[in-house]
Structure 1
């Protein structure tokens, strides 16, 4: 059900604006919290085995559980007010790729690379969940985003590799966006 009072264009620009603000916050925190902001580069390791085992596989499990819940639970429990549907339903494939890359890069850089590195897994996961404000009144969605955040936080804790968490975040967002764009759209047509 689409209850958004905003146009598709307004929602997408809002998403870009939010990611831009989060990126600026990340840069500010990096310079405030680090003597050497370049230290963040230590968290980027291109290890394809690690990306697959700790990035892709856990993300696909999250996607499978999420889709199962979407299918099995009454729709009102898993409805975000139609925001995700409105954002992704008419985007091109490549725009979805770009949006998901942007979101996973910015949010993981901030929440794992800066916040979790300074206040820990629990604090970063709770703050990550809280910025998804529209889920606060939707217990199933909120619990889902909290658990996803803890899982991604654990991946960072185990690997110290932001590319792993960015991969996991990207795969989750991308596959669910494709579901909305190509499958769910047909079901709700």
Structure 2
């Protein structure tokens, strides 16, 4: 009998799950570099997409990222728990991670995924194609309509920020802000649940 994703996740230790996360991100990073070699006249062209523009980073990176986090937290609190159930992956990744660990996860994920999907794919194949591919890699959401719509909208939002700025530091900032703050939220949420359970049983 084939195991569900939730059952597989439950069997993995936090360390094993983290190794899977980092392996997938190293794969994305490697693909970004390999594709860039073939798709750019010079590999340095890819790194020219990193532009230090504090105004752009703030207005098109940090602010949208904060708004997405706020909306996500409100939806998590308002909607039934099963609507945001991704098989327990996010909860298990973040609930036992330190703040430093969450920071590193968010940084690695935002840099590797934005480099591949915006820096390489969107630059060469366009906004819609890159946004759809980015959404499709989150295949675990395909049977979860709320999560699927959420990741689609997020993908198109970040992609559009790149259309406006052509600046990877903008999209990395937005992506990092979302992952880091939601990671902290999941960690604190688990602490609150544990605290409530202890109070109830004592």
For the superposition of Structure 1 and Structure 2, which TM-score range results when normalised by the shorter chain?
over 0.9
In 2: Cα distance, 1:6 partner to 1:145 partner: 25
Aligned-pair CA distance for 1:163: 0.1
Instruction: Say what the alpha-carbon RMSD is for the aligned residues.
Output: 1.0
1:185 match: 190
Of 47, 53, 67, the residue aligned with 1:61 is 67
Displacement of 1:188: 2.6
Alpha-carbon distance, 1:95 to partner: 1.0
Runs of 4+ residues over 6 Å off in structure 1:
none
Provide, for residues 112-147 of structure 1, a one-character-per-residue CA deviation record: whole Å limited to 9, x for no partner: 000001111111111001111211111110110110
2:169 aligned to 127, 143, 163, which one? 163
Q: Distance in 2 between matches of 1:121 and 1:66?
A: 23
How many residues matched? 187
Distance 1:100 1:163 in 2: 14
Task: Name the residue aligned to 1:41.
Answer: 47
Partners of 2:145 and 2:192 in 1: CA distance = 24
Q: Does 1:112 align with 2:118?
A: yes
Where in structure 2 are there 5+ consecutive unaligned residues?
A: 1-5, 195-202
Unaligned runs of 5+ in 1: none
Corresponding position of 2:16: 10
Q: Give the TM-score, by structure 2 length.
A: 0.90
TM-score of the superposed pair, with normalisation by structure 1: 0.96
- After superposition, the C-alpha distances for 1:94-125 in whole angstroms (9 at most, x for unaligned) are 11111100000000000000000111111111
